[in-house]
Amino acid sequence: MQFVSGIVFVQYGKFFFRQASRKSQVAFRLGTIGILLHLAQVIVDMWPFVLTSVEKKTTTTLQSFFHSLQYYASGKMYTYFLYEALHICLAVGVIMVVQYHFFRLAYATDALSNKWTVPLGILCLGACVGGLGASFEFFRQFRQSGFDSATPLVIRGQLLTFYIMWLGCNGFTDGAITCSMVKALYNGRGFVKHKSLRTTLSRLLTVIINTFSLTYIAAMLSLIATILPHIIPNFSFKAEMMCQTAGFLLNGLLSRIYLISFCQFDEIYLVEKKITI
């Protein structure tokens, strides 16, 4: 995860210097908000490693929390309610920022018609509600269990509902955007006579496919890993914990994939060149 985050920060550095010479600051502001939210995610991830280098004289509540994060990665009995609450809440912010950026890009190129506005708006709202609801449920379970609880999390009830809503709405939103924009770009590229514009459209197509197809796959795999223990009878507890851990790790990749693609391309090329598909 930290390696992927390193790629995110490198891409943002390149993005920052590209934006310095441009008049529009909208993409720069959105990118900065997204990278700051991701920086907070990385800090949450890195705290356990910082703790291991500190001399341990007494066990504090904060240390117990850090240890719980390490247990999260080790697959042992752990408590990571607060960890997931923070991570999902930050991921909601990152994904909403990046999806808004790509929506602006899609409408600037007429790849999405007005009829898509309401369905995609509902899906985005559902993803936001699901993500914040799941974050709240994780925090509520943390308040009940505390830092020192050795009881592993079992996703049930409202938490399962919110988590499915979060992953499902994100996945379907990405799938819808991918299909509509790929169709629009393939239909429009033949009418573009200038080589530079064709190159720009090809870059845009590549970024869109990479972003939304990868996030769609990650969201769907995470969703499958989450619901699989609930649809297969006599599913072992150990296998359920493995599925949940895999689902959480895939969920953690979503914001990183979004930000890498965000920093590779922005809508300024299309707005300045006034491309109409």
121-159: per-residue pLDDT in tens? 888 899 999 999 989 988 888 787 765 554 455 677 888
CA-based nearest residue to 14, from 276, 266, 274: 266
Of 215 and 80, more confident:
215
Integer Cα distance of 146 and 137 in angstroms: 14
* Residues 8-46 pLDDT 10s: 888 888 777 776 666 567 778 888 898 999 889 888 877
In total, how many domains does the chain have? 1
Q: Is residue 70 over pLDDT 60? A: no
For 44-69, the DSSP string reads HHHHHHHHHTS--SS--HHHHHHHHH
Which residues form the domain of 215? 2-273
**C-alpha dist (Å) from residue 83 to 19, 138, 141:** 34, 9, 12
Determine the Cα–Cα distance for residues 134 and 193; give it in Å rounded to an integer: 49
- Is-contact 245 73, C-beta < 8 A? no
- pLDDT for res 109: 63
Tell me what percent of the residues of the chain surpass a pLDDT of 90.
5
Question: How far is the first Cα of the chain from the last one, in angstroms, to the nearest whole number?
Answer: 37
List the CATH number of the domain containing 264: 1.20.1070
Per-residue pLDDT, 158? 86
What's the full length of the chain, in residues?
A: 277
Burial of 231 (0-12, 13-18, 19+ CB in 10 A): exposed
Dihedral angle sign, alpha carbons of residues 227, 230, 234, 237: positive
pLDDT tens for residues 230-270?
788 787 877 877 787 777 778 778 888 888 878 776 544 44
What is the per-residue DSSP string for 227-266?
Answer: HHHHHSTT--HHHHHHHHHHHHHHHHHHHHHHHHHHHH--
